Amino acid sequence: MRHLELHESSRPERHTLSDDAASTLNRLRIATVTPEGGGEWTIANIRKVGVVRIDGQQILIRPKVPISQLFFMMQFALNPKFWLNEEIQLDSDKNLLNAMAVAFLRQASKIWKQGFVQGYETFEDARPMVRGRIDIAAQIRRQGGLAFPAQVVYDEFTIDVPENRLLFSALQRLLKLPMLDSETRSGLRKLTPLFDGVKLLIPGQELPYIHYTRLNSRYRQALFLSEMILRNSSVEHVKGQLTANAFLFDMWKIFEDFVTVTLAHNFADIGGKAKLQETGTFLDKEGRLALRPDLVWHGPDRRLAIIDAKYKAPDSMKYPNADVYQMLAYCIRFGLTAGHLVYAQGQEHSQLHDIVGHQTIVQCHAVDLELPPPDLLKQMSRLASTIACCAPRPPAQSNSTAGTWRPNSDGGNQSALYSDVQFVVNAHESGTCNELKDWPYT
């Protein structure tokens, strides 16, 4: 078994790969792989982290941020109100798959010691004796008027409930991944007989929704891990007998979910309503150019802010022009004078683009993902406040002390605009904003 270790934020590197391994990296959009000849390939633009095994080669891709930080971001995006109750203990010296498998093993073992949750499940069956109630319609339809076997419907108190199906399905998925270390695999195998009577989830179907109560609240951490395992692992037949086993996370997706959910959580405290991935609006009259911003913050009668999260590797993060063009289109379409792009911080810092010939600015904000969770949340709270200060004011407040209106090139007054571009520029340059004390939408 050949091993190759890559790093998410690394520069393009040349490595020896088989044709099948290189093709799989491209097909799964893990990285951009280009041939150099002689069995060597240049690997660049790594977009996913985790581990993949194919054609006798195991490729480990380590994230730039610590694994514990990665888990925090995923967990907070899933449930902002829950993460503070208990942190998942992770082994920082392990790779992403083994760290998650060990954490899952700990949580599943803890649940077993406390006792699996059980519940009533409804069953429909044909039985030689009556149990529960007879399904008259099914009896006539299926048995042609015969008395037995009886078509019955009954409830049974069982361990086969959605919570345990999720756990058992995640356990079995982990055991199918050959990249798992032997010690963790042994521990998971010992848990398997404990799930006797629990059915596996059908692959490809949507995972069941779990409503938490005091009876199953102890399952939260284990089910979070179960969902991450089931959503981000795969066993694919590439061609012939060749199989690719992967356990991968899209860093851009983790970053986008964290940024949008965190900002929406903060906007809820400030006022208004935030919508993620808003659809139904078009840039053109013909309805061919659909718009779908990552986050839209709404006031009572207008949109207040448009935010797009753009995860970029630090060495290539130069706030690409295409992102600014996209945000400018949003601002023009929705009548806003400020748009916001949020990046993962690398070698660049926050920037502001004051658009020529149009009363619009595009702010690029950089988020430091290496901060401890409490400090990262404070940073996101400050970012939400900064965005709120750039939002449109109601017409009645357009001549308040929120800023000095910048005139048109012909000397006309721009007080018809509800947002003040010059105020946004000043706030960006000073790094402070004290307008929320008089925020009109709370």
- pLDDT band at residue 239, thresholds of 50, 70 and 90? low
**What pLDDT is attached to residue 170?**
92
Q: Is 327 helix (H, G, I), strand (E, B) or coil?
A: helix
Q: Is 195 helix (H, G, I), strand (E, B) or coil?
A: helix
User: Do residues 294 and 276 touch, judged by C-beta distance below 8 A?
Assistant: yes
**What pLDDT is attached to residue 194?**
92
Segments making up each domain of the chain, as ranges: 1-63, 65-117+164-232, 119-158, 252-438
pLDDT (mean) for 401-421:
35
Amino acid at 118: Q
pLDDT digits (tens, 9 = 90+) for 155-200: 888 898 999 999 999 999 999 888 888 888 999 999 999 999 899 9
Average model confidence (pLDDT) for the chain? 79
> Per the structure block, which two tokens stand in for 73?
């971001």
Pairing type for strands 303-310 and 32-37 reads unpaired
**What pLDDT is attached to residue 145?**
65
pLDDT digits (tens, 9 = 90+) for 106-149: 889 999 999 999 988 887 878 777 777 777 777 777 776 677 88
pTM, to two decimals: 0.74
Assigned CATH for 252-438: 3.40.1350.10
Whole-angstrom Cα distance, residue 51 to residue 262? 28
21-25 contact pairs (CB < 8 A, 24+): 21/54, 21/55, 21/57, 21/59, 23/238, 24/52, 24/54, 24/55, 24/238, 24/244, 25/52, 25/59
Whole-angstrom Cα distance, residue 216 to residue 208? 14
> Per the structure block, which two tokens stand in for 388?
């709120």
**What pLDDT is attached to residue 141?**
73
Provide DSSP, 1-12.
-EEEEEETTPPP
Q: C-alpha angle with apex 160: 154 to 166, nearest 5 degrees? A: 145
Point out which residues pair with 33 in neighbouring strands: 43
Maximum CA extent, the chain: 93
Whole-angstrom Cα distance, residue 355 to residue 332? 11
pLDDT (mean) for 242-257:
84
pLDDT higher than threshold 70 for residue 404 = no
Provide DSSP, 372-432.
-HHHHHHHHHHHHHHHHHTSPPPGGGTTSTT--PPPPTTS---TTSSS-HHHHHHHHHHT-
pLDDT digits (tens, 9 = 90+) for 300-356: 888 889 999 988 744 444 556 788 889 999 998 988 888 999 988 764 567 888 888
Signed CA dihedral, 252, 75, 232, 203: sign only: negative
pLDDT higher than threshold 70 for residue 413 = no
**What pLDDT is attached to residue 285?**
87
Q: In this structure, what DSSP letter does residue 217 have?
A: G
**What pLDDT is attached to residue 234?**
75
- The lowest-confidence range among 2-11, 185-194, 266-275, 416-425 is 416-425
- pLDDT band at residue 88, thresholds of 50, 70 and 90? low
Provide the CB-side half-sphere exposure for 42 (13 A, CA).
8
* Alpha helix stretches (DSSP H) within 159-237: 162-176, 182-191, 220-232
Point out which residues pair with 191 in neighbouring strands: none
pLDDT (mean) for 361-375:
89
**What pLDDT is attached to residue 169?**
93
pLDDT (mean) for 38-56:
86
